[in-house]
Structure 1
Amino acid sequence: MKTAMTRVTLRNLAAHKLRLVLTALSVILGVAFVSGTLIFTDTANKSFDDLFNDVYAHTSVAVRAHTDDASSAETEAVRTGVPIAEDLKTAIAAIPGVADARGEVNGYAAVIGSDGELIGGGGPPQLGLAWNGDPSTPLAEGVPPAKEGEVVLGERTAEKAKAGVGDKVRIAVQGGQQDAVVTGLASGDGLGATFVFFDTATAQKLLLEPGQYSLIAVEAADGVSQKDLAAKITPLLPAGLEAVTGDELKAENRSDVNEILGFLRNFLLAFAIVSIVVGSFNIVNTFTMLIAQRTRELALLRAIGASRRQVTRAVLGEAVVVGLVGSTLGLLVGAGIALLLKSVFGAMGLDLGGALAITPAAVAWSYAVGVLVTCAAAYFPARRAAKIPPVAAMRDDIVLPQRGLRARTVIGTVLAALGAGALAAGLAGTGDTGGTLALIGVGVLLVWLAASVLAAVIGKPVVRLLASWYPKAFGVSGRLARENPQRNPRRTAVTAVALMIGLSLVTTVNVIASSAKASLADVVDSQFGADYIVQTMSPAGLEPGVTDAVRAVPGVTSVLGVGLGAFTLDGDTAQYASGDPAPLLAMINRDVVSGTAQPGRDGILISEAKAEEDELAVGDTLSAAFPDGKTETLRVAGIYQTSQFIGNYVLPAETWQAHTPKALPTLLALDASTTGAAVHGALDKAVAAYPGAEVLDQADLKEETMSGLDQILVFFTLMLALSVIIAVFGVVNTITLSVTERTREIGLLRAVGLSRRQTRRMIRLESVVIAVFGGFLGIALGLVFGISIQRSGGEEMAILSIPYVFLAVCALFSALVGILASLWPAWRAGRMDVLKAIATQ
């Protein structure tokens, strides 16, 4: 009997190829997202591992500034560190067991391209380095730099700059620009980073301070362990320096990368889970309908001796095959997605290089997800199939029993209450970002499940309402199209819910984005007090000449420099803005509500929100540790109205400059006697000679802010579009199987006078009302999610903005989905042979 059941399973698979393809598509797309994410992150991990192995291949111990919260990865761009004197390198080189000691100088340096723009940046670092013969960056061509005015470029850096050995290039460094001749090219500048090598003396002069190093890399002699060598070096180090092994450096870097890639992986997998959830609804619907169509066949199997377990296994066997096929194809599609992601990140500057890393774990997870999700979705339909009594095979009209909807009402209500509670708790905040996101995710999932359960309860009245105009507009076809979806509310609900999930998330994202844009526009209007700003994305800040250039523009009446920095304040790492405090607050239309706007050298200004959060008042003192290793006690001199422009802390310029070598402003705030295109154009011309600097007025700042939000919105919408596509396949699948299930019924309708055109119209109208039902559910839930998040968003989303035009487009899109999904099933229904259809059992 077991062999016979296997043959039955294989025969059913071979006999229904189209339904298998439609069902497998849901599995393919869900698995593709999972496998693509895993393959891409594994590829990125391998690329970084290879890089770290190469970079630290000849570093057994590194002597560096002691790391603490103020010099963590979060504030690395503004970190200077405790300087390391040259004579320390000499002392370390004399220690027994040291094969080589290399002094390293690291800082900012970028090649200026022929178009006047900086090469690289926007992610991967633009590094200025001292040439010290490090084997990890060997010379590939030419000779090392020997004096000021000579540089070696990384091979990929030179390629981007279209420069070769002997060419003249212009280099941007902190504090100005330098002309140089390229004397050689070095390898090692991978993953999008740019390398500019100077001779040691020039690097110290331009990037650090004469006679100082950023780090000393020590290579151990043969037979000397890294830990033993670090122990020998440590006694020579002054306060503020530490000796770490090469293995520890690799582990630190891997940890930082894993944290970033882990976030990216989880972020992308969240979209994959959405796709899988949507696909599971399609699978449930498909197998439920297939079992309904094969009721007599399954009853006959029971009648000739098949047990319930064997029938269940036969149905699950089909699910396993669908899962295996879908997982295999999904893995292949996922590799394509990984290649696409690799290209996208390459265009953004992170060039991973090399081939894709398809690991056994990625393959195993792809098959596990595809097969397990398919089997789990098919399990309950399989159980229902096993419960078909053998006597049903002797009946002409076999209908699977339908349970009442009372249990659904109770279960759905409970799930909705639990989901609302989890959402409320998450939106209220738990203090931990991971915990908050987890609560919100659980809340959304529970609300989805509640909507899925309750959709069958509300489906009949809602569909009746949505299709109430069908009979008057379309006659008999409209009346039938209104009644047919109500005959099986569970099927209608499952089909609609698949579309609901995708549209609910798309709606949520658009409500949040619209509210964020409106709120940011209001912030710009209320807090942009300057006529113009000049800003740069360079970590080195604006060149000194920029200030003089814009001050010389006719009509400019005042120029205020604003610097940015980081410190550890009573144990917490924080960012601060610096400048002349009174004009700085005036620039953002903020007033001091307590204390004074002139804090003095030992004072600090804090925002109202931070003062309330930390229970601080004027006169309180705070301990501030700066990245240069020095600590100061700062007095709260004033409390100002909270601003999103400058954050929670303002330090006087003297304090910032005392702890920041070569301190340069990141932003200039300008006031002018007149404004307009002429002044804006003159300012643009004044900063044209300084790459990276740009002039913005209020309208420009709004446009730039909105443009960034629009890009994020497009990204999220495209990522969520996959779930909508899966839902569309689900509607197609459901309508197609519905037509097959009702073959005899459609034949009888044709026999009593329903024309082919009316038949096609009936199918189309059914599909449209189901899709619109799902669309309205999705829009409603999306509004609930979006408004809830907006209300809990604080000042960042103070204004609720509903994108009504977008919601109308979503509603129209739902109707269009219904029309497109019905084209093939309607055409098939219209071409049925009436006599054959009537004879169908």
Structure 2
Amino acid sequence: MGKVTLRNLAAHKIRLVLTAVAVILGVAFVAGTLMFTDTMNKRFDDLFSRIGTNVAVDVRAKKVVDGDDDGSAAQPVPAAVLKAVQNVDGVKDPFGNVTGYAAVVGADGKVVGQSGEGPPQLGTNWNPKGSYDLKTGRAPRGPHEVVIDADTASKGKIAVGSTARIVTSGQPARMTVVGLIDTGDLMGATVTAFDTPTAQRMLLKPGFFSDIEMASSGPSQAELKSRVAKALPEGMEAVTGTELREETKSDIASMLNFFRTFLLVFALISIFVGAFIIFNTFSMLVAQRTRELALLRAIGAARPQVTRAVIGEAVAVGFVGSTFGLAAGAGLAAALQAASGMGGGLTFTASPVIWSYVVGIVVTVVSAYFPARRAAKIPPVAAMRDDVALPQRSLRIRVALGSLLTLVGAGLIGTGLSGGGGSAVALVGGGAFGVFIGVAMLAPVISVPVVRVLAAPFAKVMGTPGRLAQQNALRNPRRTAATAAALMIGLALITMVNVMGASMRKSVDAQIDRQFGADYLVQPQGGGGIDPGVLPKVKATPGVQSASVTYEGKAKIAGDGTTYMAGDVAAIASAARLKIVSGGTDLGAAGMMVDEGTAKDEGWKVGSTVSAQFTDGKTQRLTVAGVYAKSDLIGGKVIALPVYLAHTAKPSADALLVDAASTDAGTKAALETTLKDHPNLKVSDQASLKKDARKQVDFIVTFLSILLAMSVIIAAVGVINTLALSVIERTREIGLLRAIGISRRQLRRMIRLESIVIAVFGALLGMGIGVSFGAALQNALKDKGLSELSIPFGTLVAYLVVAAVIGVLAALWPAWRAGRMDVLKAISTE
């Protein structure tokens, strides 16, 4: 039977190559994702292996608030601690680090590398024994000198000896660039270094450090940590250099694992779609070789042997597809690496290779298993009949099972969306999978009336080719449904993403209209805060009536880590159009306002006192002075400004609220002129806030749609495969049509119309499911800010047109092949 398998592979090369394409595309996604994340892991490992290699122990403030993962609200370490650890036996070369936000303004007047949530812009003090080496120039000395990384200097067209503007959370400064540093591959991050006093003044607070690192003169890291810990005041902690690096590695690893899982989900979707194509192809191949397989049974081949022969073909297709998919995955990983700006070559491990072959071969074999079993059931006597065909099972069991799966899947989705706790994601994912399988099983029943309606205009307008296309699409509902189901899955997910995107845009617009009452909002871009000196300048701007700053802090309130807002509470209430339910906005020196949901959950009311622990480790009791209706713009808590200032080492304004006499272009231009020395600050009115929000949503929708487009491409390959095999199956029929007078043009038109009908049917099925999923998600997330449902009908119509175009393109080669058939040879085909 091995020879039979090889002969069949050689005889059906073109048919199986198209099947292999589906495997290649799916495997490429998996392999590319694994290779890219392996490369990123290796790059970060190399980076951390050379950063802090001489650090035996690091001293820092204890983290109080769990939400402070980036350390932005961490309490600084007093200089007195540095003096204390210097006297600890075994401590060598202790050095106080200062870190914070610092950005470089390029020759074009724009902040280098500023891109919203892009790479970090780091400021630090120069450590001659630190992780960075001077590439050219010298170390900074004095309050007007700075060194910057060579990559930033190149992007900003800044040379050693020139003057550069440095932007921090305080007043921007013009400083002389005295050196360039080599930071290695930090993937776009900006590094700016000052001498220690200057760094403390600009980034933190004079007389304080972010942390203190030290080497060891002999003791082990654990022993030195124990000794240093005894010399530390309350609120400080010591960690070994190994622990520090592992913490950072762990944070990066968590991010990379999420990214890997995120991409692999889309890869699995593509593979899932490919499975439909493989199943459909092998079903058609088996059907076309029914007499051949019956002859094998007649000459003594056992059922298991026939099954193994077909499975052997699947293994070969899976192996070849996996091999080419692995190679294509390397190309995809290289493209992702180039897009991320990460230099160097790819890292190759065994994991992508193993998973590529496992996924490619297993999916192909599983998809081909049922057609293989069906082939083995062909009775030997069938070889003697001319009209031999595979027996078709009744659709009753299929309809019953499909209906059950659809209902169960919908139930799981509903349970997950209504609050399935930690298993919500699994419930929704399992439910969606169940619905897809259920609808795919019901598709043969659904296809008959839908295809009849879709093809009716073709039958009337296109005449004979249109009627034949309709009959061909209806001839085998199972095949039509299986082909359309592959397209259904991709378009269902793309439609759902677009419905969610449109709903997000509409919800944000409505939220801004309802809750944003200020005329202008000034915010820092790319990190950092707002210089306190900006406020009086803005207030003095022509046309401005009032301006106030807001602050954002972190605390543990009633035992839970949370983010709160502080500032001029009356101005915040006015800017957010807060609806005060009880109490008022006068918070005094130690008051707090909370939203209704928080008050209800915690059992608080006006006059309740609540214990709060802040990032400096100190605890203070706050009095609830007011309760307001839910506001997505300011969150659930507002705390009196004196409390924030008392517990924050370096207060940094998060936003500036501005009211003006007129919101015309002149006022906005005047504000931008006032802030010209602060290129990191952006002035926004309601229109620009909406525009920025739409841009973010559009980016997410586009990104997800591109990832899902792979499944649509695979589905298009499936349509090509089905039509190509259908043309081969109908060779004699096509010959007879040509013999009775149908032209080649009419024949090609018939196949194109059949392809369009299948593609549009799949698109309609997918878009229907996608709209339903999107509406269900929006309804479930109403309380999370997604208050408005919006269905992008224009986009859906465009997708329908795209589906029709896919149908036309998919039919080009099968139609061309059908038109080139020799009439006499086609008629004589058995």
Instruction: Indicate the TM-score class for this superposition, using the shorter chain for normalisation.
Output: over 0.9
Please name the residue that 2:10 is paired with.
Answer: 14
Shifted more, 127-136 versus 368-377: the winner is: 127-136
Which of the residues 535, 545, 550 maps onto 1:562? 550
Indicate the SS of the match to 2:179: strand
Please name the residue that 1:792 is paired with.
Answer: 780
The CA deviation at 1:70 is 4.1
Shifted more, 808-817 versus 256-265: the winner is: 808-817
Please name the residue that 1:41 is paired with.
Answer: 37
Q: Is the 8 A contact 2:466 2:753 kept in 1?
A: yes
In structure 2, distance between residues paired with 1:817 and 1:599: 63
Identity %: 50
Please name the residue that 1:802 is paired with.
Answer: 791
Q: Is the 8 A contact 2:63 2:615 kept in 1?
A: no
Q: Is the 8 A contact 1:175 1:662 kept in 2?
A: no
The CA deviation at 1:672 is 1.4
The CA deviation at 1:469 is 3.3
In structure 2, distance between residues paired with 1:584 and 1:715: 35
Q: Deviations over 1:436-491 (max 9, x none)?
A: 22211111111000011000122222222222333322333222222222221111
In structure 2, distance between residues paired with 1:661 and 1:93: 24
Please name the residue that 1:26 is paired with.
Answer: 22
Q: Is the 8 A contact 1:567 1:626 kept in 2?
A: yes
Q: Deviations over 1:268-309 (max 9, x none)?
A: 111111111111100000111011111122222222222222
Shifted more, 484-493 versus 283-292: the winner is: 484-493
Query: Counterparts in 2 of 1:204-353, with a 5 A limit?
Result: 204-222=200-218, 224-346=219-341, 352-353=342-343
Please name the residue that 1:410 is paired with.
Answer: 400
Indicate the SS of the match to 1:183: strand
Q: Deviations over 1:507-545 (max 9, x none)?
A: 111111111111111111111211112111253311233
Q: Is the 8 A contact 1:70 1:626 kept in 2?
A: no
In structure 1, distance between residues paired with 2:814 and 2:675: 63
Q: Is the 8 A contact 2:554 2:564 kept in 1?
A: yes
Amino acid across the alignment from 2:121? Q
TM-score by length of 1: 0.95
Amino acid across the alignment from 2:140? P
Find out whether 1:765 has 2:761 as its counterpart.
Answer: no
Amino acid across the alignment from 1:582? A
In structure 2, distance between residues paired with 1:546 and 1:236: 41
Find out whether 1:818 has 2:807 as its counterpart.
Answer: yes
In structure 1, distance between residues paired with 2:598 and 2:109: 42
Please name the residue that 2:118 is paired with.
Answer: 123
Q: Deviations over 1:696-754 (max 9, x none)?
A: 11111111111111111111111111111111110011011000011112112222333
Query: Counterparts in 2 of 1:466-485, with a 5 A limit?
Result: 466-485=454-473
In structure 2, distance between residues paired with 1:734 and 1:374: 17
In structure 2, distance between residues paired with 1:470 and 1:182: 72
Q: Is the 8 A contact 2:278 2:368 kept in 1?
A: yes
The CA deviation at 1:130 is 1.5
Please name the residue that 2:148 is paired with.
Answer: 153
Which of the residues 646, 655, 666 maps onto 2:634? 646
Indicate the SS of the match to 1:218: strand
In structure 1, distance between residues paired with 2:282 and 2:481: 15
The CA deviation at 1:71 is 5.8
Which of the residues 153, 175, 183 maps onto 2:178? 183
Please name the residue that 1:364 is paired with.
Answer: 354
In structure 2, distance between residues paired with 1:391 and 1:221: 89
Please name the residue that 2:373 is paired with.
Answer: 383
Shifted more, 818-827 versus 269-278: the winner is: 818-827
Q: Is the 8 A contact 1:58 1:136 kept in 2?
A: no
In structure 2, distance between residues paired with 1:380 and 1:120: 55
Aligned alpha-carbon RMSD (Å): 1.7
Indicate the SS of the match to 1:353: coil
In structure 2, distance between residues paired with 1:785 and 1:512: 9
Indicate the SS of the match to 1:646: coil
Please name the residue that 1:671 is paired with.
Answer: 659
In structure 2, distance between residues paired with 1:297 and 1:717: 44
Q: Deviations over 1:196-228 (max 9, x none)?
A: 111122222222222222111121235x32111
Amino acid across the alignment from 2:414? A
In structure 2, distance between residues paired with 1:210 and 1:755: 89
Which of the residues 692, 702, 712 maps onto 1:724? 712
Distance change (3 Å), C-alpha of 1:90 and 1:590: closer
The CA deviation at 1:185 is 2.4
Q: Is the 8 A contact 1:498 1:730 kept in 2?
A: yes
In structure 1, distance between residues paired with 2:707 and 2:444: 28
In structure 1, distance between residues paired with 2:8 and 2:438: 34
Please name the residue that 2:825 is paired with.
Answer: 836
In structure 1, distance between residues paired with 2:683 and 2:79: 41
Amino acid across the alignment from 1:210? P
Distance change (3 Å), C-alpha of 1:61 and 1:637: same
Shifted more, 531-540 versus 719-728: the winner is: 531-540
Q: Is the 8 A contact 1:174 1:662 kept in 2?
A: no
Please name the residue that 1:108 is paired with.
Answer: 101
Find out whether 1:68 has 2:56 as its counterpart.
Answer: no
The CA deviation at 1:85 is 2.9
Q: Is the 8 A contact 1:70 1:625 kept in 2?
A: no
In structure 1, distance between residues paired with 2:389 and 2:143: 89
Equivalent residues, number: 826
Q: Is the 8 A contact 2:106 2:158 kept in 1?
A: no
Please name the residue that 2:91 is paired with.
Answer: 98
In structure 2, distance between residues paired with 1:90 and 1:357: 45
Shifted more, 25-34 versus 480-489: the winner is: 480-489
Amino acid across the alignment from 1:293? Q
Amino acid across the alignment from 1:106? T
Please name the residue that 1:349 is paired with.
Answer: none
Gaps of 5+ in 1: 347-351
In structure 1, distance between residues paired with 2:379 and 2:245: 65
In structure 2, distance between residues paired with 1:621 and 1:279: 60
Distance change (3 Å), C-alpha of 1:68 and 1:7: farther
Indicate the SS of the match to 1:691: coil
In structure 2, distance between residues paired with 1:812 and 1:394: 47
Amino acid across the alignment from 1:98? V
The CA deviation at 1:683 is 1.4
In structure 2, distance between residues paired with 1:159 and 1:127: 17
In structure 2, distance between residues paired with 1:158 and 1:741: 66
The CA deviation at 1:28 is 1.0
Please name the residue that 2:195 is paired with.
Answer: 199
Which of the residues 504, 507, 527 maps onto 1:519? 507
Shifted more, 377-386 versus 808-817: the winner is: 808-817
Amino acid across the alignment from 2:18? L
Find out whether 1:660 has 2:648 as its counterpart.
Answer: yes
Amino acid across the alignment from 2:79? E
Q: Is the 8 A contact 1:70 1:627 kept in 2?
A: no
Find out whether 1:621 has 2:609 as its counterpart.
Answer: yes
Q: Deviations over 1:97-150 (max 9, x none)?
A: 333322211122221211222223533322221222234223333222222212
Q: Is the 8 A contact 1:22 1:733 kept in 2?
A: yes
In structure 2, distance between residues paired with 1:458 and 1:675: 56
TM-score by length of 2: 0.97
In structure 1, distance between residues paired with 2:507 and 2:248: 37
Amino acid across the alignment from 2:354? A
In structure 1, distance between residues paired with 2:752 and 2:138: 74
Find out whether 1:85 has 2:70 as its counterpart.
Answer: no
Amino acid across the alignment from 1:40? F
Distance change (3 Å), C-alpha of 1:467 and 1:576: same
Q: Deviations over 1:146-178 (max 9, x none)?
A: 222122222333333333332222211221122
Q: Is the 8 A contact 1:71 1:627 kept in 2?
A: no
Amino acid across the alignment from 1:809? A
The CA deviation at 1:69 is 3.1
Gaps of 5+ in 2: none
Please name the residue that 1:54 is paired with.
Answer: 50
